[in-house]
Structure 1
Amino acid sequence: MTRQNESTVLFDALGPKGRQRSLIASVVSGVVIVGLLAWAAAGLASNNFFEASRWINPLDALVVETTWIPAILDTLLAFALGSLLAIVLGVVIGFGRISRFLPTRAASTVYVQFFRSLPLVLLIWISFTIDGYFGFTADTLGWSGDARRLTFLVLGLGIYNGAILAEILRAGVAALPPGQAMAGYAVGLSHGQVQRLIVLPQVLRNMLPAVLAQLVILLKDTSLGYVITYPELLHSANIIGRDYGNSFLQALVIAALIYFVLAYALSKVVVYAERRLRKKTAAPKAAAQIEAGVTSGQSVGI
């Protein structure tokens, strides 16, 4: 199929009037967007938002060294630990969702349905405060305040995103052609061996882009550590804005830009991983022939 044919599969190509209307709509939309940006910039300028004096304090070398850099490192630490916990829980609960053992499947289903229905900020707050009811405090466990906050932020991120990743894994297994598992059973593999040797490698490869995209969301969700005063970027920006009252909005903008850079860099990893996976994917025609032969019970010569 040529590129021209691909572009007209779902809709007919625009005629002269259609192209004219599309051009007018694009111009009008562009003018509206530029107008809104100009209006916002004028409002900020009238409040001295762009004055250099308001940016000096948040970008002072001492503030960067003692606040911004530690905040970035704490954010990345929470992201790394939360991602690790979410992936482990996602794999375990995801395979529990497709288990042949009914109690395991039911428990995994309850976990996914319950935790992915909760607001993440509520889950973080509950996990942070419930320890006090059982007497688990910083003194009894020997935690520092920041270590305790990190622990419960990671728990919230891992438990919630683990439920999301488990559902991604279940959907990936369900989308895998049944001939793949049938081929394993045909050569005498057990159910566990089929899942471990045939299903899991293909599912992990196919769902990796979706997993990485969810990890980008997890990175941004580390900002919810603000509610338990974990020293991540948003909390640190609030401290800087409190110390320098006339630079509060500037500190928030700087934090937003740092989040953007981190999320953009991670999204580039997602794009790179997708390209690498496409290159490593087996030839679709050969795979289709093998699957058709296994399904029909016929041998296929390659």
Structure 2
Amino acid sequence: MNSKNETTVLFDALGPKGRRNANIAAIASAVVILGVLGWVAYVLYGEGFFESSRWVNPLDALVVETTWIPAIVNTLVAFALGSLVALVLGVFIGFGRISRFLPTRAASTVYVQFFRSLPLVLLIWVSFTIDGHFGFTTDTLGWSGEARRLTFLVLGLGIYNAAILAEILRAGVNALPPGQAMAGQAIGLRHGQVQRLIVLPQVLRNMLPAVLAQLVILLKDTSLGYVITYPELLHSANIIGRDYSNSFLQALIIAALIYFAMAYALSKVVVFAERRMRKKTAAPKAAAQLESVVAGGTAGTVV
């Protein structure tokens, strides 16, 4: 079935009058959007927003070298470490959510429900201010102020996003037809083998778009390091705006464009990975492992 036929199955095709009304609505929407953008540009032009002198300072070579580049590096470091913590912890909590053992399932559920309901900025701030209340401080460990801020930003990002990723994993597992897991159990596979050899390879591919969306959110959430003065992009843009008060909005727009570029690049990388997974899926490898498990007699005996 081609895409055109698939589309007509979902809803009736528009007739001549419907197509005309849709075109009129599209043109009207475009006119309104262009009008709003034109009005905003006119107001900014009247305030001298586009004057070159107001863009020179935030784009000065020295400012780029000493502020923008370190800010980008700091943002990417926080994103990479936060993603690592979130993915590893999210996998453990996610499998805990579907565990057959009630205590594990209950503890994982409490973790997800509690941390998912907290504002991320509150979690970062609390973890940052609680330092020193358990008999040690990051200062006694020899950490610098920047390393301390990075540590608690990463902890906040990892703990919060792990709860979201755990729910994505649980939803992905539950979305699979139950007959596949039942077939694995019918040939004598243990619960862990069913999850590893049958369920997980399919879940990883199906949940990739949702994981991508959450990682993009995590990348943007690194800006919350601003509240603990971690020198990421938003904090650095604020510093530049303070140093050059007539270029504050320009500095924020430059930071926004950098965030967009990083998020767009991340989306392209994951789309490429998704295409690779579709071409060379983990299913053949999992099938080979499944065959060796059954042939080797490591699976349980069906009664």
TM-score (norm 1): 0.89
8 A Cα contact 1:153 1:225, kept in partner: yes
Number of the residue aligned with 1:193: 193
Question: How far 1:3 sits from its partner (Å)?
Answer: 3.2
Percent identical pairs in the alignment equals: 84
Question: How far 1:33 sits from its partner (Å)?
Answer: 0.7
Question: How far 1:199 sits from its partner (Å)?
Answer: 2.1
Question: How far 1:281 sits from its partner (Å)?
Answer: 4.8
8 A Cα contact 2:131 2:138, kept in partner: no
8 A Cα contact 2:78 2:154, kept in partner: yes
Return the alpha-carbon distance in structure 1 between the equivalents of residues 134 and 217 of structure 2.
Answer: 32
Q: Name the amino acid aligned to 2:240.
A: I
Q: Which runs of 4+ in 1 moved over 6 A?
A: none
What stretches of structure 1 of length at least 5 have no aligned partner?
Answer: 288-302
8 A Cα contact 2:127 2:152, kept in partner: yes
Return the alpha-carbon distance in structure 2 between the equivalents of residues 17 and 191 of structure 1.
Answer: 57
Number of the residue aligned with 2:50: 50
Return the alpha-carbon distance in structure 2 between the equivalents of residues 195 and 19 of structure 1.
Answer: 49
User: 1:127 aligned to 2:127?
Assistant: yes
Number of the residue aligned with 2:10: 10
Return the alpha-carbon distance in structure 1 between the equivalents of residues 280 and 180 of structure 2.
Answer: 18
8 A Cα contact 2:67 2:236, kept in partner: yes
Question: How far 1:253 sits from its partner (Å)?
Answer: 0.4
User: 1:81 aligned to 2:75?
Assistant: no
SS at match of 1:139: coil
Question: How far 1:282 sits from its partner (Å)?
Answer: 8.7
Q: More displaced, 12-21 or 34-43?
A: 12-21
Number of the residue aligned with 2:224: 224
Return the alpha-carbon distance in structure 2 between the equivalents of residues 136 and 76 of structure 1.
Answer: 28
Number of the residue aligned with 1:180: 180
Number of the residue aligned with 1:296: none
8 A Cα contact 2:201 2:282, kept in partner: no
Q: Name the amino acid aligned to 2:105.
A: R
Q: Name the amino acid aligned to 2:79.
A: F
TM-score (norm 2): 0.89
Q: Deviations over 1:236-263 (max 9, x none)?
A: 0000000011110000000000000000
User: 1:66 aligned to 2:66?
Assistant: yes
8 A Cα contact 1:94 1:108, kept in partner: yes
Return the alpha-carbon distance in structure 2 between the equivalents of residues 271 and 195 of structure 1.
Answer: 25
Number of the residue aligned with 1:22: 22
Q: Name the amino acid aligned to 2:40.
A: A
Q: More displaced, 128-137 or 8-17?
A: 128-137
8 A Cα contact 2:132 2:138, kept in partner: no
Return the alpha-carbon distance in structure 1 between the equivalents of residues 232 and 124 of structure 2.
Answer: 14
Return the alpha-carbon distance in structure 2 between the equivalents of residues 127 and 198 of structure 1.
Answer: 39
Question: How far 1:56 sits from its partner (Å)?
Answer: 0.5
Q: Deviations over 1:147-201 (max 9, x none)?
A: 0100000000000000000001111111122232223223322222222232222
8 A Cα contact 2:205 2:274, kept in partner: no
Q: Measured at CA, do residues 202 and 259 of structure 1 come closer, stay the same or move farther in structure 2, by a change above 3 Å?
A: same
Question: How far 1:139 sits from its partner (Å)?
Answer: 2.5
8 A Cα contact 1:209 1:273, kept in partner: no
Question: How far 1:135 sits from its partner (Å)?
Answer: 5.3
Return the alpha-carbon distance in structure 1 between the equivalents of residues 157 and 143 of structure 2.
Answer: 20
Return the alpha-carbon distance in structure 2 between the equivalents of residues 2 and 151 of structure 1.
Answer: 51
8 A Cα contact 1:91 1:165, kept in partner: yes
Number of the residue aligned with 1:93: 93
SS at match of 2:131: helix
Return the alpha-carbon distance in structure 2 between the equivalents of residues 250 and 4 of structure 1.
Answer: 46
Q: Name the amino acid aligned to 2:182.
A: M
Number of the residue aligned with 2:141: 141
Q: Name the amino acid aligned to 2:153.
A: L
Q: Name the amino acid aligned to 2:91.
A: V
Return the alpha-carbon distance in structure 2 between the equivalents of residues 186 and 15 of structure 1.
Answer: 52
8 A Cα contact 1:213 1:270, kept in partner: no
Q: Deviations over 1:112-168 (max 9, x none)?
A: 011111111111111111114445434322211110100000000000000000001
Return the alpha-carbon distance in structure 1 between the equivalents of residues 282 and 59 of structure 2.
Answer: 50
8 A Cα contact 2:128 2:149, kept in partner: yes
Q: Measured at CA, do residues 230 and 2 of structure 1 come closer, stay the same or move farther in structure 2, by a change above 3 Å?
A: same
Return the alpha-carbon distance in structure 1 between the equivalents of residues 257 and 208 of structure 2.
Answer: 27
User: How many matched pairs?
Assistant: 284
8 A Cα contact 2:127 2:156, kept in partner: yes
Q: More displaced, 141-150 or 83-92?
A: 141-150
8 A Cα contact 1:97 1:109, kept in partner: yes
Number of the residue aligned with 1:298: none
Q: What's the C-alpha RMSD, in Å, of the aligned pairs?
A: 1.7
8 A Cα contact 2:58 2:247, kept in partner: yes
Question: How far 1:69 sits from its partner (Å)?
Answer: 0.4
